[in-house]
Amino acid sequence: MSTIKRDGFGSRFGVLVAVAGSAVGLGNLWRFPYMVGTNGGAAFIFLYLFFVILLCMPIMFSEFIIGRRTQSNAFGAIKKIAPKSGWLSIGVISVVASICIMSFYSVVGGWTLEYIFKSFSPSFLTSDSSALSSQFSGFSQSSFMPVVMHLLFLAISALIVVAGVKNGIEKYSKILMPVLFFLVLLLAIRSLTLDGAGEGVKFLFHPDFSKITGETMLAALGQAFFSLSLGMGCIITYGSYVNKKENLFKISFMTVAADTGFAILAGLAVVPAVFAFGIAPGQGPSLVFITLPQIFAQLPFGSVFAVGFFFILLIAAVTSAISLLEVVVAYFTEELKMTRKVAVVVTFMIIGVLGTFSSLSQGSLSDVTIFGKNFFDLFDYTSSNILLPVGGLLVVLFVGWRMKRADVLDELTSGGTVALRKSLFTGIMLVIKFLAPIAISIVLINSLI
């Protein structure tokens, strides 16, 4: 047994804020709108919501169950229940996936940081899409500043992780989320009232199911996992800090609701404006950075809102990044017995280097491709569309088939203190054992054909 005293969350509100803080981030406000744009709009959203409800809720319970039961990092958790078995691949996936995700997430975090500074300059907010577009590419394709910003973003996140769970994560997560919500709401209202926004609303809500391909399905599944921080032990790790009395249903449900609300609202803020301004919806990662400044330009005190928005987006990105870093750091400290400081430094160096490659792949290294993808896209695709779905599949199989049914029940009822109807428990187990694994496998196999 480990003798290291484990840190934990101070209160119910703290857990919720930290888990929701992990879920809500660039995935909702940056990735979701551009995925909707590149994958055909409403049909993608429909699939996304379907996966969130059908698959992500049970996977989230499953991760919480594993984490709280074992009180360990993702790798150690699996080791406690199934030592020396193939299940340990879940632990391996979790560490590899966090590093992969951070290697592009931190770059986008850096872009956000840069956009805070840009928002101060009066000429930044303009109604000229092509000026904004060249402004973004001019910055993101250069070799120096984006790398500096990536390292700065990573350093901020790493410093918070050094401080530990209670003093770090919880304290910094608490205040700004509601403010962010209102800012995005404001953007959505402005966007929806622009001339020509109607086309965007149609794009968001009138599904054309003929556009759905195997790749679209996988993209929707990957986005759902990405946005909810699932499939790579993040929630296992946070679950291990959750107090035994906490109701896992409530935390899961509220996290899913908050995260999905943010994503849809971000879609409403970005997509109608994209159509109103005549921007191409399918242009990828730059979409939000080109569209939002243009909406701010249409608001009174636009600069003030822009500075505030990018600042809070940065905080949202940081609270997600720390949950990713925490997976690696918890592994290094608990399995490899590093001190927390050393673990953070090592993690910083690995992601610092890989992230530099993905930043440079936007410009000077754009010709270097592996499987036809540059570094940035490769890290993104590998993690979201391969590692997270496979990790999620293994997690549900693990809880459904490897853990003791009584232990699962004990966790779901928080040691018998939360009432759970027998039929509901049977239903959840059926989803975890059969429905979720089959559905994920179908999506994965389908995308290969």
Would you list the DSSP string of 376-433? HHHHHHIIIIIIHHHHHHHHHHIIIIIS-HHHHHHHHTTTTTS---HHHHHHHHHIII
Nearer to ligand TRP, 70 or 384 (CB): 384
Q: Which residues bind ligand TRP (CB under 6 A)?
A: 22-23, 25-28, 101, 226-227, 229, 232, 234, 320, 323-324, 388
Would you list the DSSP string of 303-319? HHHHHHHHHHHHHHHHH
Contacts of 368 (CB under 8 A, 6+ apart): 361, 374, 375
Dihedral Cα 154, 159, 165, 166, nearest 10 deg:
-130
Query: Could you tell me the smallest distance in angstroms from the CB atom of residue 145 to ligand TRP?
Result: 23
Nearer to ligand TRP, 27 or 267 (CB): 27
Q: Residue with structure tokens 């490769």?
A: 378
Query: Could you tell me the smallest distance in angstroms from the CB atom of residue 443 to ligand TRP?
Result: 17
Query: Could you tell me the smallest distance in angstroms from the CB atom of residue 32 to ligand TRP?
Result: 8
User: Phi, psi (5° rounding) for residue 3?
Assistant: -100, -5
Nearer to ligand TRP, 239 or 302 (CB): 239
**Helices 177-192 & 197-205, crossing angle to 10 degrees?**
120
Nearer to ligand TRP, 140 or 383 (CB): 383
In eight-state DSSP terms, residue 370 is B
Nearer to ligand TRP, 135 or 259 (CB): 259
Q: What CA–CA distances, in Å, run from 379 to 206, 302, 318, 361? A: 32, 34, 19, 11
Query: Could you tell me the smallest distance in angstroms from the CB atom of residue 355 to ligand TRP?
Result: 15
Query: Could you tell me the smallest distance in angstroms from the CB atom of residue 160 to ligand TRP?
Result: 14
**Residue of closest CB approach to ligand TRP:** 27
Nearer to ligand TRP, 187 or 232 (CB): 232
Query: Could you tell me the smallest distance in angstroms from the CB atom of residue 421 to ligand TRP?
Result: 31
Which two tokens mark 164?
A: 């530990």
Nearer to ligand TRP, 100 or 399 (CB): 100
**Among positive and negative, which fits the CA dihedral 72, 74, 76, 81?**
positive
- How many residues belong to the chain? 449
Nearer to ligand TRP, 227 or 447 (CB): 227
Query: Could you tell me the smallest distance in angstroms from the CB atom of residue 296 to ligand TRP?
Result: 21
Please tell me whether residue 250 adopts helix, strand or coil conformation.
Answer: helix
Query: Could you tell me the smallest distance in angstroms from the CB atom of residue 316 to ligand TRP?
Result: 7
Query: Could you tell me the smallest distance in angstroms from the CB atom of residue 332 to ligand TRP?
Result: 17
In terms of Cα–Cα distance, which of 119, 161, 145, 201 is closest to 342?
161
Would you list the DSSP string of 318-335? HHHHHHHHHHHHHHHHHT
Nearer to ligand TRP, 173 or 227 (CB): 227
